C-alpha cells in the first residue's frame, strides 16, 4: 500500500510536459538521427541557454532543466569541465560566443574558490560549503583550459592543483575531502580527478602533479576485477555501478596511459572497456547499471554514461586500432543522438536527459548539463575519426 501511495503521489506531481516526455519515450527512440554536426550545434546552444537561465544568474551553468521544477541553480563541478568543451567548439568552428561564455564561467570560479584552493560540492547555493576533492578536480580541468586559452587563471589553477596533490593519502586514495552529497566511502572513479592533475602537469611541469595523479590511478585499479568490472565505483550503489561512474573511472585510466605511456594503464583501461563491449547491443543501448559479472540490473539507459564510455572507446581505438571499440562507440553515440529534441521547446531542444526513458533511475525527468557536455565531446571525436583526423 505504501509503494502504491508513493507511485500515485509521484504521478500526481508530474507536469503536463513531463507526461508528454514520458509518453514520447514509451514509444521508443525516434528512428531519425540528426547527424553529428546538428547534434553538436544544438547541444552548444542548449548549454548557452543553461548558463543564461541558471537561477543564480552568476556565470555558471544550470545543473539541469527539470520537467518538474524548471531551470536549476549553477553547478560548479560540471561547469568546470564544460569550459574545455566550449573552447574546443569555438576553435573548431571559428566562433567566439562559446569562448566568451567559457570566460564568464572561469571568472565565476575565481570568485567562488575557497581558501586553500578547493571548491565546494553540490549546487552553488547548497550547504554545507566545504572543499570537495571530486568537484575541485573537475573545475581544475576548466581552469587549466583557461590558462591555455587566455593566459590567465594561473593562480586559481595552481591553488586547486596544490589542494589536490597535497591532500592525497600516501596509498593514493583521496579521503580527506569527500562530498557531503554522495554515499560515504572511497571512490575508484576519482581517476577523473587525477585527469585534472595530469592536465595541470602539462601546463605546470615539475610540481609533482603528474606523479600524484598516477599514484591515485594505481590505487584505483587495485579495485578492478580480472574481468574489468570496478568495485567502489558508484555514487550510491557500489554493487551495481552506473555507467556514468564507470565512465569516469575509464577515462581517468585512459588519460593516465596517454600521459605516462605506461602499458599497465592501457591494459587496465582495456579490461574495463572490453567488459563494457559485451553490454552494448546492436542498436547502441547500454544498460545504466551493471553488476560484477557485467549483467544489466536495470532496464533503462544512463545516456551520460553511454557517451562517456563511447569517448573512451574512441580514444582506445586511436591507440590500439581495435575496430570493436570504434564500432561500439559509433552505436552508442547514435543511440544518444536519436534521443535529442532538435526542434520545439527551447528548454528541451538540444538537451540530453539523464536516462532513457525519461523516468529511468538517473536524473529522472531532468536534462543534465554534463550529459550534453559529454555527448558533444564524444561526437566531436567521432567526427574527427570519420574525417581521418587524430581527434580534438
Model confidence pTM above 0.85: yes
What pLDDT, on the 0 to 100 scale, is given for residue 2?
53
194 CB-near residues (< 8 Å, 6+ apart) = 137, 212, 213, 214, 216, 217, 220, 252, 255, 256
pLDDT of residue 11: 72
Question: For 388, phi and psi rounded to 5 degrees?
Answer: 85, 15
Domain around 256: 21-386
Split into its structural domains, the chain has a count of: 1
Q: 301 lies in a domain?
A: yes
pLDDT in tens, the chain (392 residues): 554 445 556 677 899 999 999 999 999 999 999 999 999 999 999 999 999 999 999 999 999 999 999 999 999 999 999 999 999 999 999 999 999 999 999 999 999 999 999 999 999 999 999 999 999 999 999 999 999 999 999 999 999 999 999 999 999 999 999 999 888 899 999 999 999 999 999 999 999 999 999 999 999 999 999 999 999 999 999 999 999 999 999 999 999 999 999 999 999 999 999 999 999 999 999 999 999 999 999 999 999 999 999 999 999 999 999 999 999 999 999 999 999 999 999 999 999 999 999 999 999 999 999 999 999 999 999 999 999 975 44
Q: Does residue 310 lie in a domain region?
A: yes
In a domain, 2, yes or no: no
In a domain, 239, yes or no: yes
Query: In 3D, which of 175, 263, 159 has the Cα closest to residue 219?
Result: 175
What is residue 389's predicted lDDT score, i.e. its pLDDT?
A: 72
Any domain includes 7: no
Q: How far apart are CA 64 and CA 353, in angstroms?
A: 9
> Any idea what the CATH number is for the domain that residue 131 is in?
1.50.10.10
pLDDT at res. 392: 42
Closest by CA position to 156, among listed 171, 173, 141: 141
CA–centroid distance for 111 within its chain: 23
Tell me, yes or no, whether 337 lies in a domain: yes
Give the tens place of pLDDT for each residue, 250-279.
999 999 999 999 999 999 999 999 999 999
The answer to whether residue 14 is domain-embedded is no
Q: Does residue 5 fall inside a structural domain? A: no
CA atoms of 312 and 368, how far apart (whole Å):
20
Burial letters 162-187, b for 16+ CB under 10 A, else e: bbbbebbeeebbbeebbbebbeeebb
**Predicted local distance difference test score (pLDDT) of residue 12:** 77
Amino acid at each position: 500500500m505504501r509503494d502504491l501511495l508513493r507511485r500515485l503521489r509521484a504521478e500526481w506531481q508530474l507536469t503536463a510536459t513531463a507526461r508528454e516526455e514520458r509518453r514520447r519515450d514509451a514509444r521508443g527512440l525516434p528512428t531519425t538521427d540528426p547527424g553529428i554536426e546538428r547534434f553538436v550545434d544544438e547541444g552548444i546552444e542548449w548549454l548557452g541557454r543553461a548558463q543564461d537561465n541558471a537561477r543564480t544568474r552568476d556565470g555558471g551553468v544550470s545543473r539541469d532543466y527539470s520537467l518538474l521544477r524548471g531551470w536549476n541553480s549553477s553547478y560548479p563541478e560540471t561547469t568546470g569541465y564544460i569550459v574545455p568543451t566550449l573552447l574546443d567548439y569555438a576553435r573548431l568552428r571559428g566562433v567566439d560566443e562559446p569562448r566568451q561564455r567559457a570566460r564568464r564561467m572561469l571568472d565565476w570560479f575565481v570568485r567562488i574558490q575557497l581558501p586553500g584552493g578547493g571548491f565546494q560540492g553540490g549546487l552553488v547555493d547548497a550547504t554545507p560549503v566545504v572543499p570537495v576533492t571530486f568537484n575541485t578536480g573537475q573545475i581544475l580541468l576548466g581552469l587549466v583550459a583557461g590558462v591555455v586559452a587566455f593566459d590567465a587563471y594561473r593562480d586559481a589553477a595552481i591553488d586547486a592543483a596544490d589542494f589536490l596533490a597535497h591532500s592525497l593519502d600516501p596509498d593514493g586514495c583521496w579521503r580527506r575531502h569527500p562530498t557531503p552529497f554522495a554515499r560515504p566511502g572511497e571512490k575508484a572513479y576519482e581517476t577523473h580527478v587525477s585527469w585534472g592533475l595530469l592536465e595541470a602537469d602539462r601546463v605546470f611541469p615539475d610540481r609533482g602533479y603528474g606523479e600524484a595523479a598516477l599514484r591515485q590511478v594505481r590505487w584505483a585499479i587495485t579495485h578492478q576485477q580480472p574481468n574489468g568490472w570496478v568495485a567502489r565505483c558508484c555514487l550510491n550503489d557500489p554493487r551495481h555501478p552506473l555507467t556514468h561512474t564507470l565512465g569516469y573511472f575509464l577515462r581517468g585510466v585512459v588519460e593516465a596511459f596517454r600521459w605516462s605511456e605506461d602499458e599497465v594503464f592501457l591494459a587496465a583501461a582495456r579490461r574495463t572497456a572490453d567488459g563494457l563491449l559485451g553490454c552494448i547491443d546492436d542498436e547502441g543501448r547500454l544498460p545504466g547499471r551493471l553488476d560484477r559479472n557485467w549483467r544489466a540490473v536495470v532496464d533503462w539507459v544512463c545516456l551520460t554514461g553511454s557517451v562517456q564510455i563511447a569517448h573512451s572507446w574512441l580514444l582506445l581505438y586511436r591507440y590500439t586500432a581495435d575496430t570493436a571499440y570504434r564500432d561500439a562507440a559509433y552505436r552508442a553515440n547514435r543511440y544518444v543522438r536519436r534521443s535529442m529534441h532538435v526542434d520545439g521547446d527551447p528548454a528541451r531542444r538540444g538537451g540530453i536527459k539523464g536516462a532513457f526513458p525519461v523516468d529511468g533511475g538517473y536524473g529522472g525527468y531532468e536534462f543534465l548539463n554534463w550529459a550534453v557536455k559529454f555527448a558533444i565531446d564524444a561526437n566531436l571525436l567521432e567526427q574527427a575519426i570519420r574525417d581521418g583526423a587524430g581527434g580534438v
